[in-house]
């Protein structure tokens, strides 16, 4: 009998391929290449070895990567081939191994990382995680790079199809911090271990951003914050609140001011100019 999947908070309880994400047993990836547009302590000068996994446990209406997250574009590979891809990236001199949207692939990723010690592993996720799944990854992940998108269950239901987003994300981020501790950098100024929490400012949702930042300040001592301004009107957003427009300078300034008022000085604030489609990777099976 096929093993039933309960890796993410959806807890589908059905064989792989029949659940919410639609992904089967073997890993499916859309791109594997050095990536230079992450936070400076991740990309550095030589890039981050980004492996973009297909499928997703969320349904964000504004997703910039719907081709791989919703339409499941990608190529299915074996775990052995996935390990080869990791080594190929390391051979190119990247600073770390960056697993993008890994949550619903935690089982095969765990297997693929057995014995891996060449580079720090970055778990780059949407923050919608089960603590039990994260605990299984302890020791195989050195850097956690999750989103914290929402506090409000109404907003997470409307925008990402997950009313329980914060219910799971809050304990998940605390577990990440327990595992890896405060941010530590190497001699080159590249992250060696720790937690960096990303938050994307959404148009018309300044109060949500303030709530998220306040929660981080009160609950994640030692974590860094990456405040993102790269929102682009994309995806299934027609008629949804104010999502059909970019964020304004006034919204950006108000959220940034709140962040600094909270004393969240460790991390990064993305400039408004980052709202540009040129930063979206090409989904062309590079490196696979």
Banded pLDDT at 4 (limits 50, 70, 90): very high
In a domain, 272, yes or no: yes
Q: What tokens does 65 get?
A: 């990567």
pLDDT score of 279 more than 90: no
In a domain, 8, yes or no: no
In a domain, 9, yes or no: no
Helix runs in the chain, H state only: 40-43, 66-69, 79-91, 106-112, 131-136, 153-160, 165-180, 206-219, 249-261
* Tens digits of residue pLDDT in 98-154: 999 999 999 999 999 999 999 999 999 999 999 999 999 999 999 999 999 999 999
Q: Is the dihedral of CA 116, 90, 180, 280 positive or negative?
A: negative
In a domain, 286, yes or no: no
In the chain, % of residues over pLDDT 70: 99
Q: What tokens does 101 get?
A: 């949207």
pLDDT score of 12 more than 90: yes
Distance separating alpha carbons of residues 96 and 13, to the nearest angstrom: 33
In a domain, 164, yes or no: yes
What's the confidence (pLDDT) of residue 273? Answer: 84
pLDDT score of 49 more than 90: yes
In a domain, 10, yes or no: no
Banded pLDDT at 1 (limits 50, 70, 90): very low
Mean pLDDT of the chain: 96
- Give the CATH number of the domain where residue 275 resides: 3.20.20.70
In the chain, % of residues over pLDDT 90: 94
The residue range of the domain holding 175 is: 26-279
In a domain, 5, yes or no: no
pLDDT score of 194 more than 80: yes
Distance separating alpha carbons of residues 218 and 277, to the nearest angstrom: 34
Stretch 177-181: mean pLDDT: 98
What's the confidence (pLDDT) of residue 277? Answer: 83
Domain count, the chain: 1
What's the confidence (pLDDT) of residue 2? Answer: 56
What's the confidence (pLDDT) of residue 276? Answer: 80
The total number of residues written for the chain in this structure:
288
* Tens digits of residue pLDDT in 50-62: 999 999 999 999 9
Largest CA distance in the chain: 56
- DSSP β-bridge partners for residue 248: none
pLDDT score of 3 more than 90: no
In a domain, 11, yes or no: no
Contacts 24+ apart (CB under 8 A), 74-77: 74/28, 74/29, 74/30, 74/283, 74/285, 75/28, 75/29, 75/30, 75/285, 75/288, 76/24, 76/26, 76/27, 76/28, 77/26, 77/27, 77/28, 77/29, 77/288
**Among 2-6, 127-131, 284-288, the least confident range:** 2-6
* Tens digits of residue pLDDT in 201-243: 999 999 999 999 999 999 999 999 999 999 999 989 999 999 9
């Amino acid at each position: 009998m096929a093993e039933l999947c309960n890796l993410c908070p959806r807890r589908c309880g059905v064989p792989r391929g029949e659940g919410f994400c639609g992904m089967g047993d073997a890993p499916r990836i859309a791109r594997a290449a050095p990536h230079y547009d992450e936070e400076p302590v991740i990309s550095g000068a030589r890039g981050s070895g980004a492996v973009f996994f297909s499928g997703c446990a969320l349904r964000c209406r504004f997703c910039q990567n719907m081709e791989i997250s919703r339409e499941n574009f990608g190529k299915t590979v074996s775990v052995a081939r996935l390990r080869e891809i990791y080594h190929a990236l390391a051979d190119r001199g990247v600073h770390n191994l960056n697993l993008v949207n890994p949550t619903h692939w935690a089982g095969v990723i765990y297997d693929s990382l057995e014995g891996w010690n060449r580079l720090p592993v970055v778990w780059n996720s949407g923050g919608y995680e089960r603590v039990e799944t994260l605990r299984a990854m302890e020791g195989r992940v050195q850097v956690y790079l999750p989103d914290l998108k929402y506090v409000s269950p109404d907003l997470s239901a409307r925008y990402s199809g997950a009313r329980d987003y914060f219910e799971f994300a809050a304990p998940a981020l605390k577990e990440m911090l327990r595992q890896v501790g405060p941010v530590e950098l190497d001699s080159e100024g590249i992250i060696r271990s720790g937690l960096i929490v990303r938050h994307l400012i959404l148009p018309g949702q300044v109060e949500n951003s303030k709530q998220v930042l306040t929660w981080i300040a009160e609950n994640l001592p030692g974590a860094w914050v990456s405040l993102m301004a790269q929102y682009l009107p994309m995806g299934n957003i027609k008629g949804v609140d104010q999502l059909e427009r970019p964020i304004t300078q006034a919204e950006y300034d108000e959220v940034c001011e709140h962040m600094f008022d909270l004393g969240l000085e460790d991390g990064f604030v993305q400039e408004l100019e980052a709202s540009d489609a040129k930063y979206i990777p090409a989904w062309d099976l590079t490196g696979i």
